[in-house]
Amino acid sequence: ANQRKHDLHILHVPKTIDNDLMETDHCPGYGSVARVAAHILLGDDLDNRSFYNGIKINICMGRHAGWIAAASALARRCVENEDPENCGPHLIYMPEHTFSEEQFINDVQKTYDQLGRATVVVAEGIADQLKNSRFAGEKDEFGNAQLSGSGKLGDHLAKIIEKHVQVHSHLGKLRVRSDTWGYLQRSLPGMVSEIDKQEAFEVGVASVDFMMRGETDKTVIIQRVSDAPYSSMPGLTDLALVAQKTKRVPAHMINAAGNGVTNAFFEYILPLAGELPKMYSLGGVGKIEKRLAHYVRH
């Protein structure tokens, strides 16, 4: 258009739940999918608590970045009167950190030994690190693990756990299940974060304003102004700084073991996801007895 002296203005308006665009604090859509991840894991972990020997693996979107997997950690903040260490997801794996199947087995074994169960979240991008898996049964023509496709990664990891995690024999057989969330995680209008809805509208309005001013070859970003109270404003940056680049979860938001998140991530995500459901735990057998003592006749 420039070569032909055609007056054309092009402005990029972001919208990706993957939250992997550079320069912006976060992307429209991410706060909402974070809510979805929190709700799924809260319910999934409550279900997992209902029986011993349960190992549940959840595969979420995130081929190159683990932002959605990380957001599932919000579920650990939804149970009152409970040690967060007891709440799932107990283990979270993101493509930002090297994935070792041996370490995965050890992590699940340790969690199982402590709690008698485990809830796990894995970003789909982990599959790219398992092409040379010695545990994989199905191989492609080059001898690489065949893990692409619906459910294959979850099935693969479930089989590893079934085979290698040692069971507490007095509790019976290990129960391992996996779910691949698929497109549903980005398709639930009832789960939209209020902040996300507001910011998405503001980004759209700002895009029109920037275009009317004559801006071109730019992308609209969200700038975080403050955390408490949370506030943000739309901004503008060069499209060249964003195109063909990926924003990954920074190291300071991932724990040292590479199987969870730090408080820095919670500070980042909590304002974006909005209000989350609260569940209440009686806090263990001793506390249950104490609370019910008044109602018990001797």
Q: In Å, how far are 68, 160, 257 from 106, measured between CA atoms?
A: 24, 11, 12
User: Which pairing describes strands 117-123 and 79-80: parallel, antiparallel, or unpaired?
Assistant: unpaired
Q: Look at residue 173 in the predicted model and tell me its pLDDT.
A: 85
> Which residues are known catalytic residues?
18
Torsion (CA) 101, 103, 108, 112 in degrees, nearest 10: 140
Digit-coded pLDDT (tens) for 278-296 = 888 766 544 444 555 555 5
Two structure tokens written together for 268: 């980042």
**What is the Cβ-side half-sphere exposure of residue 288, based on CA atoms within 13 angstroms?**
7
Whole-number pLDDT of residue 51: 80
Any idea what DSSP says for residue 8? Answer: -
Contact 75, 278 (CB under 8 A): no
What pLDDT was estimated at residue 81? 74
Cα 90 to Cα 259: distance, rounded to the nearest angstrom? 8
Give the integer Cα–Cα distance in Å for 115 and 167. Answer: 12
In 3D, which of 36, 92, 85, 90 has the Cα closest to residue 249?
92
Cα distances (angstroms) measured from residue 30 to each of 62, 177, 267, 273, 286: 12, 27, 15, 8, 40
Residue 172 to residues 49, 106, 109, 207, Cα–Cα distance (Å): 16, 20, 16, 59
Confidence (pLDDT) at 286: 44
| Residue spans per domain, the chain | 11-16+193-241, 30-191+247-286
Token readout for 170 is 């007095």
Q: Which homologous superfamily is 30-191+247-286 in?
A: Phosphofructokinase domain (3.40.50.460)
Neighbours of 86 (CB within 10 A): 16
| Separation between Cα atoms, residue 24 and residue 256, nearest integer Å | 26
18 burial (CB, 10 Å; 0-12 / 13-18 / 19+) is: buried
Q: What is the pLDDT of residue 100?
A: 93
Beta partners for residue 139, in sequence order: 145
pLDDT tens over the chain, length 298 residues = 778 888 888 999 998 999 999 999 999 999 999 999 999 999 999 999 988 889 999 999 998 999 999 999 999 999 887 888 889 999 999 999 999 999 999 999 999 999 999 999 999 999 888 876 666 666 666 666 655 566 889 999 999 999 999 987 676 789 999 999 988 999 999 999 999 999 999 999 999 999 999 999 999 999 999 998 999 999 999 999 999 999 999 999 999 999 999 999 999 999 999 999 888 876 654 444 455 555 555 5
